Amino acid sequence: MSTSGRAPRLLFVDSGLGGLTVLSAARHAVPEADILYIADDAGFPYGSKSDAVLAARLFTIIEAGVRGFEPDCIVLACNTASTAGLPVLRQNFPIPIVGTVPAVKPAAALTKSGLVSVLATPATVAREYTRGLIQKFGAGARFTLVGAPTLAALAEAHASGADVDGEAIAREVAPAFVEEGNARTDVVVLGCTHYPLLLDKLDAAAPWPVAWLDPAPAIARRIANVLAGEGHIVGVGARRGRGEIRFTSGQQPSPALLRLLQSHHLTVPASGAAAVL
């Protein structure tokens, strides 16, 4: 709860369902938070858009969400959106914004072989933001950047209840597994919030065991710290916060997707639509 007695409010934004991986961790860190999750499935995939177009789209979505929900913190639960839009969005909204960027520093600390791969969308691996993280926090490890063209879409389909091709997943992740002499990649940074939705299938596709580094727990800790800094007493409430998800396409979820959303304690409005674009 906050010092005013109101539960904290979190506005999540993602291009689809990937942000559920961050939301799940946030639910553990701040169970009492009320959540509005906007799934911009009408804009999926974000990687096909220029930085300017994506930043403008995010501004419109967040502006509508802020106006109707009045959040205490905005969570940009998408690596591509964060690397493209965080600076502009922070300039335009006075509310704290927590972004999602590849977990380069933890990966460099975790690796034993010195070979780390960042598995992300092509847009994320192409950005100077990502390369700057490696230059600043890579700590001497050798990083391989792998842009997976369709892995996010495969994760989105899997989460919606569709069967996905294991061989297609294996092709997407294969470049992340590097051998140099006697050394092998031992840490793969999951640089897209969709990818943990496929974790079992990623394990099955791996030619050898690796640590898949999911940034969601670290993001959840950051969210809790931000809320505490805003005067909220977090993580101690007996009340479970409310949650609602809105799709910008107005879709109604399949039975499999509805079960997934219910497991995250998210309700779907009758229209399904976010009505922000």
Catalytically active residues are: 78, 192
Q: What is the DSSP letter of 234?
A: -
Buried b (16+ CB within 10 A) or exposed e, 113-133: bbbbbbbbbbbbbebebbbeb
Q: Which of 272, 254, 247, 249 is nearest to 39 (CA)?
A: 247
8 A C-beta contact, residue 110 and residue 215: no
Q: Report residue 63 as tokens.
A: 């502006």
Q: Taking a C-beta distance cutoff of 8 angstroms, is the pair 81, 44 a contact?
A: no
Crossing angle between the packed helical segments 79-92 and 51-69, to the nearest 10 degrees:
60
* Separation of alpha carbons 247 and 169, rounded Å: 26
Contact 40, 215 (CB under 8 A): no
CA distance 65 to 215: 24
For residue 33, which amino acid is it?
A
